[in-house]
Chains A and B, each alone.
Chain A
């Protein structure tokens, strides 16, 4: 991948120019689906865009004793990382990529979560600090399952290149890994039953409590981009290999859409769990998945 291609992927497709509207669309689909399942009318189609514009036009109130630079920096890093993660997704066949881009994608997907933790502590708000502590505990819990799932898939296919993973025929271990990633997505996207860091009725919105105006707009955008990147990763791993570019793009979008609907249904059907229950759930998942992954890897090794 040369510099021009890399920039085109980051800024045009599937990067910023495509990913930002896609992020607003996914945010709208999630909100609308949850509203419909709860018997509400839900927001109009353009609402996430209107929210973004409205927040951009607002002033940030002065916050005494808080570093303004840090508060502005965290959401910008989160947006950049999430946009970069979307830019790495192999939406189209023969989209390029490089060996090890899966590891970069995982790192970029993890950056917004780390920024949220840092932002909560930077804001010096008690609600922000509680939310950040929860986010950190949650991140340590679900990331073990998440990383193990992705690494198992990559190891079973003998590659850390996303495009190769998307093109190789699926193995049973791949479906197991995709299932494990799907279990982690509600925690990664702060959805029920794992919406502890931004528990609205308990700690306002956790690390976001002290944010307003353009900074909050950036957080919202970063959240939308995380949606696109996370669902896109699952779609990449689960989609069948197709040579026709428009069919491949269509399947990719349809799979991403289906994942958003599935996660919305889970969010609507469940209530928020306590932090100890959440952590226990993910560590138990880790144990089960670790045994399955190691057993499968050993089996494949002895078989080959």
Chain B
């Protein structure tokens, strides 16, 4: 009889679903489409190696590289975003739109490789520190 009580409660308790195009509230941290910021990407291809769904493709060339993303193949796991050191990738709350052909939603970016950042100059140690590091042979004896 508890099922009848439940049905009665549901009947007068309002619905938990809503009519299209209304949408339920998005929970914080909802993982949706992956967005790419070309200005921050260094072309390290870590995202490509972390993508198990093969939604991200990376083709490296001389002086430039091509980064592609297919939302139709993406599982929205967020591992690419986690692995991106330069924060060139982030996820938004939107879901991919409806598509009819494979690869229709694919987006590609061909970017010029950035010149490697100059190596930091080796720090010059002060003379006093040098002496402490290499003690005099008399003192050691």
**Which A positions have Cβ atoms within 8 angstroms of B?**
35-42, 44, 265, 268-269
Contacts and interface: CB of A to CB of B under 8 A. Distances in A.
B7 A265 contact: yes
B11 A36 contact: yes
Interface stretch (B15-23, B88-96, B128-136): B15-23
A265 B15 CA distance: 16
Contacts, number: 28
Contacts of B7: 37, 265, 268-269
A61 to B, nearest CB: 16
A39 B3 contact: no
Given A39-B16, A40-B15, A268-B7, 15 more contacts: A35-B15, A36-B10, A37-B10, A38-B10, A39-B10, A39-B13, A39-B17, A40-B16, A41-B15, A41-B17, A41-B19, A44-B19, A265-B7, A269-B3, A269-B7
A37 B10 CA distance: 5
Nearest to B13: A39
B130 to A, nearest CB: 77
22 contacts: A35-B15, A36-B10, A36-B11, A36-B15, A37-B10, A37-B11, A38-B10, A39-B10, A39-B13, A39-B16, A39-B17, A40-B16, A41-B15, A41-B17, A41-B19, A42-B15, A44-B19, A265-B4, A265-B7, A268-B7, A269-B3, A269-B7
A39 B15 contact: yes
Nearest to B8: A37
B11 A40 contact: no
Contacts of A265: 4, 7
Nearest to A35: B15
A42 B17 CA distance: 9
A38 B14 CA distance: 10
Nearest to B4: A269
B5 to A, nearest CB: 10
A36 B13 CA distance: 9
Contacts of B4: 265, 269
A169 B11 CA distance: 36
Contacts of B13: 39
Nearest to B14: A39
Given A269-B3, A269-B4, A41 B18 contact: yes
A272 to B, nearest CB: 15
Contacts of B3: 269
Contacts of A36: 10-11, 15
A267 to B, nearest CB: 11
A269 B5 CA distance: 10
A40 B19 CA distance: 10
A36 B8 CA distance: 9
A40 B16 CA distance: 6
Nearest to A36: B11
A182 B17 CA distance: 32
Contacts of B15: 35-36, 39-42
A134 to B, nearest CB: 25
A37 B13 CA distance: 9
Nearest to A41: B15
A39 B15 CA distance: 5
Interface centre among B7, B10, B15 (most CB of A within 10 A): B7
